[in-house]
């Protein structure tokens, strides 16, 4: 599979950003005679680093995007239906109408993200061409490929991908993802799966961090992860890219819980605009992510938020099925 983008894939991330004082790798220059480099892994993962400590909110129109921006969202995710509605309505879920995404881009100054189906690299080419800031290759939409994910190195626009465990996260990073989120169980308002995924990633990293090289080789085979990325995660004692929580976060306490479990920020999907007072809840979750270690502030911001979204129990009867199992 090839995409008509001329950037070369960059090396997987070292530590937390671009390659320091080393010369910038040769890349397509922006202009004749210029020597700047577009779409390096450094600027891709760098934007995720700028989003840290922030909340990324799902919005379905320009009006919601403005509410999110005023409430302090660090970015918005533009989509036609929030996950709770995708669950309720069923059917095949696809990339949103580019006109609708552009109307959101025009409405706000913060970064705008949009979702593509797993493996659907043409949807990604379309979103890159309209100048979207980040692409989510998301299990919330119906997968377009049941074996392959998008080769994300081929794009100038950066990608975020979901993961349930360390192996899955490192496979996505090796494909070029510059940003990882837990999958959680989107559209349920139930944080239990996001907790499971974050705990699993952190516990596997802790395990790897005390292994010697022989053990790391065996462990890399075991969790189906590229050895060099596993070694990097073990050395850093964290994922080598920014890691947000997503899927089922509905309250300020949920958001602070995920932050205390080691996430760098949170995505809130249906939890805001399916609640009684979206603007107030959005602002409270933004504050909860900043002051996640301060129970006094958390108590203040949790007061009088109105009705939260209706939550779903995650069992075999879950309407719309388990989305987190999509992705390979």
Partner 1 sequence: MDTHQAKKDVTVGILALQGAFAEHQVALQKLSCQKKVVIVLVRVADDLARCDALIIPGGESTTIALLARLAGLLEPLRLFLKKKPVWGTCAGAILLAQAVENTKKGGQELLGGMSVTVARNGWGSQVESFEAPLLVDGLRDPDQSFTGVFIRAPVVLSLSPSPEDPPLEIIARLPAGLLPRSQTLVSPDEDDTDPRDPRTIVAIRQGRHMLTTFHPELTKDSRFHEYFVRACVLPSLSP
In the set 44, 115, 183, 231, the catalytic residue is 115
Helix/strand/coil for 255: helix
Least distance (Å) from partner 1 to the CB of residue 224? 30
d(CA 171, CA 321): 24
User: Cβ closer to partner 1: 287 or 302?
Assistant: 287
Give the dihedral of Cα atoms 81, 87, 89, 91; nearest 10 deg. 90
Based on the shown chain and the rule CB under 8 A, indicate whether residue 98 belongs to the binding site for partner 1.
no
Chain residues 201-230 in contact with partner 1, contact rule CB under 8 A: none
Binding characters for partner 1, 125-144, by CB under 8 A (x = yes):
---x--xxxx----------
d(CA 264, CA 289): 9
User: Cβ closer to partner 1: 102 or 207?
Assistant: 102
- Angle between helices 252-260 and 295-302 in degrees, nearest 10: 160
How many residues bind partner 1 (CB under 8 A)? The answer is: 59
Buried b (16+ CB within 10 A) or exposed e, 180-203: bbbbbbbbbbbbebbbbbbebbbe
Stretch that binds partner 1, among 150-158, 197-205, 217-225, 248-256 (CB under 8 A): 150-158
Based on the shown chain and the rule CB under 8 A, indicate whether residue 54 belongs to the binding site for partner 1.
yes
Least distance (Å) from partner 1 to the CB of residue 52? 6
Based on the shown chain and the rule CB under 8 A, indicate whether residue 159 belongs to the binding site for partner 1.
no
Strands laid side by side in the 55-59 sheet: 242-244, 179-182, 159-163, 134-138, 112-117, 75-78, 55-59, 266-268
Stretch that binds partner 1, among 115-123, 185-193, 287-295, 303-311 (CB under 8 A): 287-295
d(CA 327, CA 325): 6
Q: Of 320, 263, 247, 317, which is closest to residue 51 (Cα–Cα)?
A: 263
Least distance (Å) from partner 1 to the CB of residue 1? 20
Q: Is 115 a catalytic residue?
A: yes
Residues forming the active site? 115
Q: Which residues of the chain form contacts with partner 1 (CB under 8 A)?
A: 15-24, 30-31, 33-40, 42-43, 46-47, 49-54, 66, 69-75, 105, 107-111, 128, 131-134, 156-158, 283, 286-287, 289-291, 294
């Amino acid at each position: 599979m090839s995409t008509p983008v001329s950037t070369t894939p960059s090396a997987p991330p070292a530590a937390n950003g671009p390659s320091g004082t080393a010369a910038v790798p040769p890349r397509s220059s922006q202009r004749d005679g210029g020597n700047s480099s577009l779409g390096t892994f450094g600027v891709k993962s760098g934007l995720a680093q700028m989003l840290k400590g922030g909340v990324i909110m799902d919005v379905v129109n320009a009006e919601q995007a403005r509410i999110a921006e005023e409430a302090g969202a660090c970015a918005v995710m533009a989509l036609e239906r929030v996950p709770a509605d995708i669950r309720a309505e069923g059917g095949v879920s696809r990339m949103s109408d580019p006109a609708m995404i552009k109307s959101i881009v025009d409405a706000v100054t913060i970064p705008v993200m949009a979702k593509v189906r797993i493996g659907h690299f043409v949807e990604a080419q379309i979103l890159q061409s309209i100048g979207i800031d980040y692409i989510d290759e998301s299990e919330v939409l119906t997968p377009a490929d049941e074996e392959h994910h998008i080769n994300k190195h081929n794009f100038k626009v950066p990608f975020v991908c979901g993961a349930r465990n360390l192996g899955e996260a490192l496979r996505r990073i090796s494909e070029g993802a510059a940003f990882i989120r837990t999958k959680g169980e989107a559209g349920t308002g139930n944080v239990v799966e996001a907790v499971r995924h974050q705990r699993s990633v952190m516990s596997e990293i802790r395990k790897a961090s005390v292994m010697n090289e022989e053990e790391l080789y065996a462990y890399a085979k075991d969790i189906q992860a590229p050895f060099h990325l596993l070694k990097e995660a073990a050395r850093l004692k964290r994922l080598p890219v920014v890691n947000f929580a997503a899927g089922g976060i509905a309250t300020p306490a949920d958001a602070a819980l995920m932050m205390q479990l080691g996430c760098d920020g949170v995505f809130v999907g249906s939890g805001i605009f399916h609640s009684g007072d979206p603007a107030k809840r959005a602002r409270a979750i933004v504050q909860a992510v900043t002051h996640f270690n301060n129970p006094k502030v958390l108590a203040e911001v949790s007061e009088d938020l109105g009705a939260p979204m209706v939550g779903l129990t995650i069992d075999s009867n879950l309407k719309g099925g388990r989305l987190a199992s999509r992705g390979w």
